[in-house]
Amino acid sequence: MAETRVIRLTEVRKTYSSGDIQFEALRGVSLEINQGEYVAVTGPSGSGKSTLMNILGCLDVATSGRYEIAGQDVSRMAEPELADIRCRWVGFVFQQFNLLASMPAWRNVELPLCYAGVGPAERKRRALAALADVGLADRVNYRPGQLSGGQQQRVTIARALVTGPALLLADEPTGNLDSTSAREILSIFDRVHHEGRTVVLITHDRDVARRADRMIEVRDGLILDRSRSSLVVAP
Ligand code: ADP
Ligand code: MG
């Protein structure tokens, strides 16, 4: 049977060290996310949301605990294997767009396909299709500086989706946007979710979080799962 729990974290801890000082940003997080689920992660600034996202996206590794993606234990993988997982499974959208200023939109979008070893003609075809999917067919040759914030964020979503990832991770994707652009971005996430992808949206904005199937709250490096805690208090 297919593995439906895409993500399983068990007692994950993350300790940052700077000099003599150690700080435990995640203090034993256990979490399961199913294939196709739309999960919002909320919590105050400094609670550990980005730390959690970096681990979920294999951009960083846990200090202890176990992390499985689609049944594979990634907690003990080294960088080349992690890079392979990121490339095949995960698309990222950040608050800062992280686009290359000197390159037109379509070149930014094709970059993940370069890492995946796709040939130039196919890369361009898929980049243009991904940009059309986010409503930017008429902006493919624009550089980031020639696009609005909302358009730049749509370019990053096209870049995140161009490899066809099962999991889309977004860390405060609407944090730098006006409300109209934010709504456009969130409706793209709704569509991505309806296509069957797993979406994990990190936000400190509870109104944004309410669009998801499930809201998870991070506090001081620990998870509070509201849907489960409400089950516990039900009569
Ligand atoms: P959030 O995204 O919820 O605002 P973060 O995950 O970025 O929180 O940070 C959680 C805590 O870990 C914060 O106190 C932050 O200062 C600390 N932290 C994050 N990254 C590092 C790092 N590279 N080195 C040391 N401390 C860090
Ligand atoms: Mg953060």
pTM for this predicted structure: 0.91
CATH code 3.40.50.300 for 36-62+76-225: yes
CB neighbours of 187 closer than 8 A, spacing ≥ 6?
none
Q: Where are the alpha helices (DSSP H) in the chain?
A: 49-56, 79-89, 105-115, 120-133, 149-161, 179-194, 206-209, 226-233
Q: What is the pLDDT of residue 4?
A: 63
Query: pLDDT band at residue 235, thresholds of 50, 70 and 90?
Result: very low
Encoded amino acid at 58, one letter? C
pLDDT of 62 over the 80 cut: yes
Structure tokens at 169: 């991770």
The per-residue pLDDT for 227 is 55
Cβ atoms within 10 Å of 222's Cβ, excluding its own: 15
| The pLDDT value given to residue 115 | 83
Main-chain phi, psi angles of 74, to 5 degrees: -95, -5
Ligand 1, pocket residues at CB < 6 Å: 16, 18, 23, 25, 43, 45-51
Q: Tell me the per-residue pLDDT of 126-171, one tens digit each, with 9 for 90 and over.
A: 999 999 999 999 999 999 999 999 999 999 999 999 999 999 999 9
pLDDT tens per residue, range 64-101 = 999 999 888 998 899 999 998 898 889 999 999 999 99
Spatial distance between the Cα atoms of 191 and 188, rounded to a whole number of angstroms: 5
Rounded to whole angstroms, how far apart are CA atoms 147 and 216?
Answer: 33
Q: For residues 193 and 212, what is the distance between their CA atoms, to the nearest angstrom?
A: 9
Q: Residue 230 pLDDT more than 50?
A: no
DSSP letter for 230, please: H
Radius of gyration of the chain (CA): 18
| Cα 15 to middle of ligand 1, angstroms | 10
Whole-angstrom distance, CA of residue 28 vs CA of residue 87: 27
Query: Candidates 51, 52, 55, 172: which one to mutate for ligand 1, based on the most atoms within 8 Å of Cβ?
Result: 51
The pLDDT value given to residue 231: 43
Q: Do residues 225 and 216 lie in contact, with contact meaning Cβ atoms separated by under 8 Å?
A: yes
Listed in sequence order, the residues at least 6 apart from 6 whose beta carbon sits closer than 8 Å to its beta carbon are 33, 34, 35, 69, 70, 166, 167, 198
CA distances from 58 to 118, 120, 197 (A): 22, 27, 18
11-55 tens-digit pLDDT:
999 999 998 999 999 999 999 999 999 999 999 999 999 999 999
How far is ligand 2, taken at its centre, from the CA of residue 46, in Å?
A: 7
CB atoms within 5 A of ion ligand 2 belong to 49-50
Map tokens 């593995």 to a residue: 3
DSSP state, residue 204: S
Give CA–CA dist 200/97, Å, rounded: 17
DSSP helix/strand/coil, 21: strand
What pLDDT does 225 receive? 60
Cα–Cα distances (Å) from 159 to 30, 46, 118, 165, in that order, read 30, 27, 14, 11
